[in-house]
Structure 1
Amino acid sequence: MDPSLLFMWLGFILAGYSVVGNDSIQTLGTFLSSNEERSWYVLWLFAGGILTATLVYGWATHGGDVSYGRLDKYPLPQPFAWYYLLPPLVLMTLTRTGIPVSTSFLILTFFNEKNLVDMTTKSLLGYVVAFGAAILIYMAITKTVEKRFIESEVSPRDRKIWVPLQWISTGFLWSQWLIQDFANIYVYLPRGTSQSTLIVSLLILLILLAYIFYSKGGAIQKIVKAKTNTIDIRSATIIDATYGIILYFFKELSNIPMSTTWVFIGLLAGREIALRYQLDKKFSGPVFRMVLADLAKVAFGLVVSIVLVFIIKFLAA
């Protein structure tokens, strides 16, 4: 087998595992937490069905480009060298530690570092928008909605309403996240994906997704569970719907790739601050330390990606 072809597919598999294992918990974490009583394969079939539909739709409507045009400025390297496998390998290592690093920065930067500024600007804007939106929303609904969720169990009658709502909001969010993050995985394959490549790559992604559901999210899931009342299906539905709408806004804004991790962390940070203030009537130190710690982790991922760019350039020289 041609070494370049081998490196391409190996890179795709590593990137797929890294991206699905790290980033998917942003969109599926609350879904997993609030549906722990269900069999993992039921949840996998739901998420896998949406993944398949989103991938095939993008392929059919964008001339074989499953990234929805987000890889226009990221040409496939010729030849495809072994050192392009470093980003997903580093990401896999960081994922096992529970650090919510940005796959967009860690992977896409290596294929074209000239777009780093635009990607960073859009990602920072995503953090600010998500943080501000969460502050406004949860300052408004905490006393009337979230407080009741925290103080009361989900009744059988409530579940009949909230279960369908959560699955709908999760499905919408999952599709919007996939449109953003397919670029981080398919950057390793030719931009015009053939039908056979589409089928093989889809099967690989579904297998990787099954493993994530079977392992119940892995280490990154701890970040979601650390936040207030995220395992409540009602709270999880509101989080997913808000996150999905924000991602849809940025999807329509431009085709520039962005870090969905930064948006997710911003949303949880704003929500936690608003909740604690409305419930405790003060801004507590532990909350701010949690917010700053999460922000420091994603900032660390950005620094790592920039450092690795220079390492790869040194190896390629």
Structure 2
Amino acid sequence: MAKKFKRTDRDRPYLNILDFLVKEKTFLGIVMVGILVAGIATGFGRAAMWVGFFFAAYATVANDSIQSLGTFIESNKSKKWWLLWLFVGSIFLVTVTWSFVHNDGDVTYHRLLNPDGTTDYPHPEHFSFFQIIAPLVLLILTRMRMPVSTTFLILSVFSANTSGITSVISKSLSGYVLAFVLSFAVWYLSYNAIRKYFKSRKSHSGWMALQWIVSGSLWAVWVMQDGANIAVFLPRHQNLFQFIIFALTIFLGLGLLFYLRGDRIQEVVSEKSRISDIRAATLVDFTYVLLLIYKLFISTVPMSTTWVFLGVIGGREIAISLSRKKKGKKHRNKAFRLIIRDFTYALLGLIISVALAAAANKSIRDALIQSIMG
């Protein structure tokens, strides 16, 4: 009699990968077509620029939706998707238009182009294959529900030298630590009061207005920080035609994102403790936007907002797990597993980013080899 196959923890990673390949045949087929288009476009400067931009426009917003829009989507499930889209889309258009007008065609609030005209991320005359497929790699990781940093994954392949990467890593790591500590302090010290006040499932109508204000502010600040991850494919000073294509593409991409309700990556937010409560979502977003505003004004160096968001969510989960009296051990173990998993995925994204940057840029590749060889 044949032995019955039993799945073990050792087998699970391989089985998950196989399940992903079987379930996502259509998606992977689309990605393969995208890679083929990227290969054809490589060497044709203008075509490569627009192909890379269109890939980045959806991939970046789709992945980063968990941090800038995730709690907003989760706590507004009962609202029409097009209403949420028009609200967020209008804020996007106003934010990028302001930068375009006041910064002479620069839509990134000096994230890619310093006020003195210097940049660590020059616009390439000829795009490499690895620069064009970077958004496709991001799209695959997003489909696998990995909250990786788009700043690391996309900007790194455009960096002129290793300093452009190390400065982003340094700022992002400090942002993660600061976010984790601040979020932990807020939720741990006020847990009993929050639990008592939020005990009722019904919330005051004022919370809805407050959340939309906070979420709108968060989205605007996110665009100021991470809009560079999409605009990096376009000239540092855009003309009117390029700006219209840039703004309209992302506006329509946001519509698709809200129609899909965040798609697969939204589960990273949905699985967290009572995050669908509009009051909890508002507190998370308020903590997050304060940190982004602080980081936005202390330096024009790009930063991984994903890492800051994971710090906010991680600090909250640990604080709640330590504050709970009932089922404390079970919840703590779950919280630690979620935090370790999210951080591991973000770290994996960083490793892939550096590998792509080294493949796309000879100077970075030589510097990494030299540092490894000592």
Range class of TM-score, shorter chain: over 0.9
The answer on whether the counterparts of 1:8 and 1:188 sit within 8 Å (CA) in structure 2 is: yes
Which one has a bigger Cα radius of gyration? 2
Provide Cα deviations, 1:72-106, integer angstroms capped at 9, x if missing partner: 22100112344321210100111111000100000
Partner of 1:64: helix, strand, or coil? Answer: coil
What residue is the counterpart of 2:75 in the other structure? Answer: 34
Q: What CA distance in whole angstroms lies between the structure 2 residues aligned with 1:241 and 1:302? A: 27
The answer on whether the counterparts of 2:130 and 2:359 sit within 8 Å (CA) in structure 1 is: no
What residue is the counterpart of 1:305 in the other structure? Answer: 353
What is the percentage of aligned positions where both structures have the same residue?
Answer: 40
Provide Cα deviations, 1:120-174, integer angstroms capped at 9, x if missing partner: 000000000100000111112211014532x32124xx1x210000000000100
Provide Cα deviations, 1:201-232, integer angstroms capped at 9, x if missing partner: 11110111111000000111101011111000
The answer to whether 1:123 aligns with 2:172 is: yes
Q: CA deviation at 1:288?
A: 1.1
The answer on whether the counterparts of 2:130 and 2:356 sit within 8 Å (CA) in structure 1 is: no
2:88 to 47, 63, 67: 47
The answer on whether the counterparts of 2:157 and 2:358 sit within 8 Å (CA) in structure 1 is: no
The answer to whether 1:109 aligns with 2:109 is: no
Q: What CA distance in whole angstroms lies between the structure 1 residues aligned with 2:127 and 2:353? A: 19
Structure 2 alignment gaps of length 5 or more: 1-40, 114-119, 367-374
2:202 to 151, 154, 173: 154
The amino acid that maps onto 1:35 is N
What residue is the counterpart of 1:171 in the other structure? Answer: 216
What residue is the counterpart of 1:238 in the other structure? Answer: 283
Flag as ranges the 4+ runs of structure 1 deviating above 6 A. Answer: none
Structure 1 alignment gaps of length 5 or more: none
Q: What CA distance in whole angstroms lies between the structure 2 residues aligned with 1:80 and 1:121? A: 27
Task: Give 1:78-227 correspondences, 5 Å limit.
Answer: 78-112=125-159, 113-114=161-162, 115-149=164-198, 151-155=199-203, 158=204, 160-227=205-272
The amino acid that maps onto 2:122 is P
Q: What CA distance in whole angstroms lies between the structure 1 residues aligned with 2:195 and 2:142? A: 31
The answer on whether the counterparts of 1:87 and 1:106 sit within 8 Å (CA) in structure 2 is: yes
Between the two structures, name the one with larger relative contact order (CA 8 Å, sep ≥ 6): 1
Query: Bigger shift: 197-206 or 81-90?
Result: 81-90
Provide Cα deviations, 1:220-266, integer angstroms capped at 9, x if missing partner: 11010111110001111111111011000000010000100000001
RMSD of aligned alpha carbons: 1.8
Partner of 1:240: helix, strand, or coil? Answer: helix
The answer on whether the counterparts of 2:105 and 2:237 sit within 8 Å (CA) in structure 1 is: yes
What residue is the counterpart of 1:60 in the other structure? Answer: 101
The amino acid that maps onto 1:152 is S
Q: CA deviation at 1:313?
A: 4.0
The amino acid that maps onto 2:92 is L
The amino acid that maps onto 1:266 is G
The answer to whether 1:285 aligns with 2:336 is: no
* Distance change (3 Å), C-alpha of 1:257 and 1:226: same
2:274 to 212, 229, 242: 229
The answer on whether the counterparts of 1:76 and 1:187 sit within 8 Å (CA) in structure 2 is: yes
Report how many residues are paired: 312
Compute the TM-score of the two structures, normalised by the length of structure 2: 0.80
